[in-house]
Structure formats: structure tokens, C-alpha cells
Amino acid sequence: MPRKKLKDLKLGSVIIIFDRDFGKLIFRDIRGYGSLLDDAEWLLERTQQRSWGFMIRPVIQNGRSGLWIGEYVPTNNQIVQEEILFSKGSSTISKLLLKYAENKVNERKINRRIDVSALKKMLPESNIIQSFKYYVCPEERFYEKCPHIKEIYKAIEEKCGSSTKLYYSRVAEIISSIDKCHDVLICPLLASPNAFERILILNNILRNKKIGKIKIIDKSVIEVS
């Protein structure tokens, strides 16, 4: 990192890890060594459940709020790439994290406002964040924020027409037609080669979101309600 960017840099006490396999981990009141790299690598040494990912930390320089972003890999406890951003988006995120450190906002708000999708939208200039992909879509995100569920359910209703019954092979075709989210390697809806299992997963998320439900009538027909 160029010395110019590190000059007069004040470090916030919050670090959030976004891990490809284990999701989001929030660490508060990080004091450490007062060094971006040393603190990050100290934290990596003590975080056993991790694979590939990145971490963010609020920073302040000459009155400007920004973000430090560090990328890590599973083979060691080192940061392999880092960025410091002072864009509009990074300033917004930084200020929110600084408020969290001061107990002015709670962790629920942090979880709601700061996720990988939000970071990708707010920080288009970050190569680290834009290249990040989850291995499997995190369970919380899948069940609460999957963008395809309403689309699938609407397509099923249209296929049913005036009836509420449909061959489950048609439902499986609809599920298979969705485009996998660009920031995950494996979508739970598409992971299983078994069409029947995909429908069961879809039914679980439909019930969870209270959109509807799928009832198995026999080995080839389902009923949608």
C-alpha cells in the first residue's frame, strides 16, 4: 500500500469478514496493533472457520471516511491484496460501521444493510469485491433474499392455468431455466441433479417466505397453492 494512502490514517474498531464458505463474521472493538495488515492477519490467525474471502474496516483520513478492503486465501494467514477507497459508497458504509462501533446502530441494521450484494452495488471500483463469489449461496440469504423465488412461483402459476395441478417435471424445467446469481458458484436450487429434490427445496423456501406451497399428489403430479 502506498505510503501516501497510509499517512494520517485512523482505523475504526470494526472488521467484517465475508467468507466464501462460512458467510459473514462481524468483529467489534478490534484494538490490535494499530496496523491494517497486522490487525487483519492477527484476526485471520484466530478465525479457524474460513476459506477464501475478504474483510472490510472503516478508516478516516483528513476528515474523510473510507474503507480498507483486504483479500485473503486459505493457505496462510496473510492478506494477499488490499485496497483503500474514499468513494461515496465507501464513505456511507464506513460511517455506518463507525456508528455501530459507538453503539449508535445495532448489529441487526449492519446485517441488513451490509452484505455482498450491497457492497457490489455501492463499491463498483473495488476489484476485490467485484471478483468475490460465494461457494454455496449462504442459507440466510437463500431463504430470505433469493431473487428467483417469486419469478419461479409466477411461472408455475402461469403453467397451471385454471388448474392447480402440474406435472413435477414441468416445475423442474422452470427451476432449471433460472440464471444462477453471478456471485455464487453453487445455487442450492440448481445443485441437486434430482428434479424431485429441487422441488422439495423450492417448497421449503416458498413456505418460509409465505408465498405458497407445493403438495405432492403422486409420483408425477404436484399441486400448487
Q: How many CB atoms within 10 Å of residue 182?
A: 8
| Domain edge (last residue) among 101, 132, 163 | 132
- The verdict on 96 and 147 lying in the same domain is no
* The three grid cell numbers given for residue 36, joined into one nine-digit string: 491494517
Q: What are phi and psi of 136, to 5 degrees?
A: -120, 140
Give the DSSP letter of residue 223. E
To the nearest 10°, report the CA torsion of 44, 34, 105, 16.
-20
- The verdict on 219 and 109 lying in the same domain is no
Give the DSSP letter of residue 130. H
- The verdict on 24 and 118 lying in the same domain is yes
Q: Helix axis angle, 195-208 relative to 168-176, nearest 10°?
A: 80
**Strand stretches in 29-173, DSSP E:** 53-61, 64-72, 79-85, 134-136, 165-167
- The verdict on 212 and 123 lying in the same domain is no
Instruction: Identify the residue with better confidence: 160 or 173.
Output: 173
In this model, does residue 3 exceed pLDDT 50? Answer: no
- The verdict on 119 and 191 lying in the same domain is no
Structural domain range at position 165? 140-224
What confidence tens digit (pLDDT) does each residue in 71-124 have?
999 888 899 999 999 999 999 999 999 999 999 999 999 999 999 989 999 999
- The verdict on 34 and 115 lying in the same domain is yes
The closest of 22, 216, 183, 30 to 11, measured between CA atoms, is 30
- The verdict on 21 and 43 lying in the same domain is yes
Q: How many residues does the chain have?
A: 225
- pLDDT for 106: 95
- pLDDT for 98: 97
Report the predicted TM-score, pTM, of the whole model to 2 decimal places: 0.77
Tell me the percentage of the chain whose pLDDT exceeds 70.
Answer: 96
Mean pLDDT throughout 170-191?
88
For the chain, the domain total comes to 2
Give the CA distances from residue 210 to residues 58, 98, 191, 197, 204, in Å, rounded to whole numbers and listed in that order: 37, 36, 23, 20, 10
To the nearest 10°, report the CA torsion of 49, 132, 175, 113.
80
Contact between 170 and 159 under an 8 Å Cβ cutoff? The reply is: yes
- The verdict on 100 and 83 lying in the same domain is yes
- The verdict on 208 and 116 lying in the same domain is no
In this model, does residue 199 exceed pLDDT 50? Answer: yes
Instruction: Give residue 40's pLDDT band: very low, low, confident or very high (50, 70, 90).
Output: very high
In this model, does residue 147 exceed pLDDT 70? Answer: yes
